[in-house]
Structures are given as structure tokens and as C-alpha cells.
Amino acid sequence: MSYPPYGQPPATQQPGAYRPGEDRPGAEPGGYPPGTQEPGRYRAEARHDGGPAAGAHQPGANQRGPRDGAHQPGTPAVAPVAAPSEAREKLGGLRDEIGKAVVGQDAAVTGLVIALLCGGHVLLEGVPGVAKTLLVRALAASLDLGTKRVQFTPDLMPGDVTGSLVYDAHTAEFSFREGPVFTNLMLADEINRTPPKTQASLLEAMEERQVSVDGVPRPLPDPFMVVATQNPVEYEGTYPLPEAQLDRFLLKVLLPLPERRDEIEVLYRHSHAFDPRDLAGAGIRPVAGAADIAAARAEVAGVQVAPEVLGYIVDLVRATRTSPSLSLGVSPRGATALLATSRAWAWLSGRGYVTPDDVKALAHPTLRHRVQLRAEAELEGVTAETVLGGVLAAVPVPR
């Protein structure tokens, strides 16, 4: 199946479906960034190699296309079209499976799939009760992978996450007992409820894909992905994540309150015996496994990126470093993350190349947690979203 533009639900989804360009209060701003227009259409010559016909819609393409036969800067001279892919179909099926349990959080679902393709981690933020944990549990039930859940609490210790050495009285030796981090998909629930010491226990695991205990590095399974949930920091009893740990997350996805139609659908399902604790009873079944993810990652690695698009990404992140509203801009790691997520989104959209609109669509969720506001900017009501929106509007787009 094909994905709709990032941050939008499928056009056929009911209830809560809406037309592209329609306002969605509180929606994930990864779809159409502030100051941009909804993606339009390319004009292309008719093809005889399985590519799109003239005027066919290319998700994420620029609003104004080139003349027939003219080369558009920022795209390859001969634009490759991704061939039909079994891996893409299987990962596309994740949306349908997760939709059996979660309503109206399509941007978050797409973000999780992109992180799987990139081998990255996701931070989900939203007020209590917007299905953050249910979303991750539904993803885990849709994948044929090992999964574990850790409830982060104020008294949780680092060894409770990574594992520790345990003394065996029978052998008179210490043996290593693996912690819940030794899995494919780890749900770190309410990660900002635990002190920084325990939060930091995930740093090595998230970056190096290993855990070192007593000086011995122990590799983690492949694939390995951390999906952490957190409540907004203004809620009681939370510990803000340090910048070093925030930078380890590929995406930060905001889960808004549902629209009225979506909330009616939630109540309808609960009134008809839906049990969020019984996902198997909801009909969720594994549709993809480790081999499918590996095949998809290999295909994503083949997505082409023109030099103009690479320059556009660099210009965006460099603009954040000189913004007067920010004390900390995006690092080179953030630039590579934006490149990776843009390639994954282009692949999900069925294209073999990245357009500037792919970069725009993923700029907010990829960069919002990598910038830090100045105190005076916060007092004036400036947010990371407004700063990134201004950067996207100011940096020239390759044409």
C-alpha cells in the first residue's frame, strides 16, 4: 500500500478522514510545514518502463513542476521510480494492523515505520490518555520481533534496564543476567518519570547497540529500537531528558488530542467490546519480521539524493545555528538524521529519489528536539516549531 503525505491519514480512512490541505487542529506538523504549500504534481513525459504517466501525482513533490522534458534541480536527471517491493507492501500493512487498535494517530504510525527503516529510535510525547503506550504495543503486535516493556519510575535503577551481575551460590561465580534492553523493540514507558542516572543507562545501547557491564561489551539483537513515551515536562513529577539523550532519538513525534470524529470512533469501539489489553482479540497479527525490515533498509539505501538536496539539508541545519531565538542549533548528527528520514519517506512514497518536499515534511519531527530555545525567546512565547517554520520559510528551496 502507499502512504499518504506525512502527517495525513489515508483518504479512505473512516472516521476522521479529511482532504489534503484541510485544517486539522493540533495535528502533527510534519505534513505541511509552516510557510509551505501542500505538495502538488509533477508534469512528466509518458514513460514505458512502468513509471508514472504524464501528470501523475508524486507524493512530496514540489508544487510547481518543470516543463516537459526539462531537468529539475534537486532531482536526478533521469528520475528513478522505485520498483514494486514486497518489503514496502509488508511495512505498509503495519498501518492497517495498528489501525485496528489506534484511531487518528497516522503521523505517529508513519514516524514509527520511518524509524524502523532508518534503524533509529522514537520519542512519543503527549498528554496522558492519547494512546502512546497502546500505539507501541500495537506496533509490537504487528511485528514478528521480540519486545519488552519497562515502566520508568523514580526508583528504577540502571541495572534494572541494562542487566547486572548476579552471584550464583552453586558455582560461587558472578553471572550476567540480561535486562529488558536485550530485545528488538523496547518500550520505555514514561521515560521522563525516572531520574537522569537511569535515563542515561540507555545512552550506550541507543548509540552503540551494545551494553557494557563490568567492562565487557555485550551486543544487542538486530534490529534494535527504543520507543520512549513521555508526558510534557510541565506535568508534575517529571525529569527533562538531557540534550545528549534527546539527540539519540531519530524522531520526536507529538500525539495530539483526537478530533471529534476520531474520539467518537474510539468510544464506538469500546462500546462494542474492544479491549486495549487484548490486541490479539482485536485482530492484530504480525505482518513483517526482521528479514522484511532488513530487505527494506537495503532498498532505502539505494534511494538517490541529488547534490542540491544535500546542500538544502545543510543550509537548513546551519540556519538553526545562527537563529537569534536558539542557544543550541542542530548538530551534524541532526543533518544525517534528516537525510536518513527523508530517504525513508521517499521510499515509502514509491520513489527512488529524494525531493526538497521530503526534507520539509520530516524537518519538524527530526529536528524539533535537537534545538534549544533562549530564555528570552521562551518568555516571548517562541517555540521550537515556530523557529523551524521560520527557517523552512527563509532557506531557499532548490528549483
How does pLDDT run across 329-352, given as a tens digit for each residue? 999 999 999 999 999 999 999 999
- Rounded to 5°, angle at Cα 311 from 306 and 315: 150
Structure confidence at residue 3 (pLDDT): 53
From 286, 317, 341, the end of a domain falls on: 286
Question: Residue 350 domain-assigned?
Answer: yes
Tally of domains in the chain? 2
Domain region containing 150: 102-286
CA separation (Å) from 134 to 46, 57, 93, 161, 264? 45, 34, 18, 21, 18
- 3-class secondary-structure state, position 262: helix
**pLDDT given for residue 83 in this prediction:** 53
Among 83-87, 274-278, 344-348, 363-367, which stretch is predicted with the lowest mean pLDDT? 83-87
Query: What is residue 26's predicted lDDT score, i.e. its pLDDT?
Result: 42
Residues 209 and 271 both lie in one domain: yes
Residues 249 and 347 in one domain: no
Question: Does 393 map to a domain?
Answer: yes
* Residue 362 maps to a domain: yes
Q: Which of 221, 251, 286 is the last residue of a domain?
A: 286
Give the highest mean pLDDT range of 173-177, 241-245, 269-273: 269-273
**Do residue 275 and residue 212 come from a single domain?**
yes
pLDDT at 71: 43
User: Do 276 and 149 share a structural domain?
Assistant: yes
Instruction: State whether the Cα torsion 107-113-116-118 is positive or negative.
Output: negative
Task: For 179-234, write each residue's pLDDT tens digit.
Answer: 999 999 999 999 999 999 999 889 999 999 999 988 889 999 999 999 999 988 66
Tell me what pLDDT residue 240 has: 87
pLDDT digits (tens, 9 = 90+) for 280-307: 988 999 999 999 999 999 999 999 999 9
Q: What is the mean pLDDT of residues 252-262?
A: 93
331: domain CATH number? 1.10.8.80
Per-residue confidence band for 175, with pLDDT thresholds at 50, 70 and 90? confident
* 185 and 151, same domain (yes or no): yes
User: In percent, how much of the chain has pLDDT > 70?
Assistant: 78
* Predicted pLDDT of residue 33: 38
Higher pLDDT, 319 or 213: 319
Q: What pLDDT, on the 0 to 100 scale, is given for residue 238? A: 83
Q: What does the pLDDT read at residue 231?
A: 85
Do 279 and 311 sit in the same domain of this protein?
Answer: no
One domain for residues 153 and 267: yes
The verdict on 115 and 247 lying in the same domain is yes
Residue 204: give its domain's CATH number: 3.40.50.300
Give the burial class of 40: count Cβ atoms within 10 A of its Cβ; 0-12 exposed, 13-18 middle, 19 or more buried: middle
Residue 345, classed as helix, strand or coil, is helix
The answer to whether 347 and 357 are in contact (CB under 8 A) is: no
Per-residue H/E/C for 121-185: CEEEECCCCCCHHHHHHHHHHHEECCEEEEECCCCCCCHHHHEEEEEECCCCEEEEEECCCCCCE
Is residue 123 domain-shared with residue 231, that is, in the same domain?
yes
Residues 349, 217 within the same domain: no
Domain assignment present for residue 144? The answer is yes
In a domain, 122, yes or no: yes
pLDDT at 173: 85
User: pLDDT grade, residue 7 (50/70/90)?
Assistant: low
Shared-domain flag, residues 195 and 327: no
39 domain-assigned: yes
Same domain membership, residue 219 and residue 142? yes
Q: Is residue 385 part of a domain?
A: yes
Q: Is residue 90 situated within a structural domain? A: no
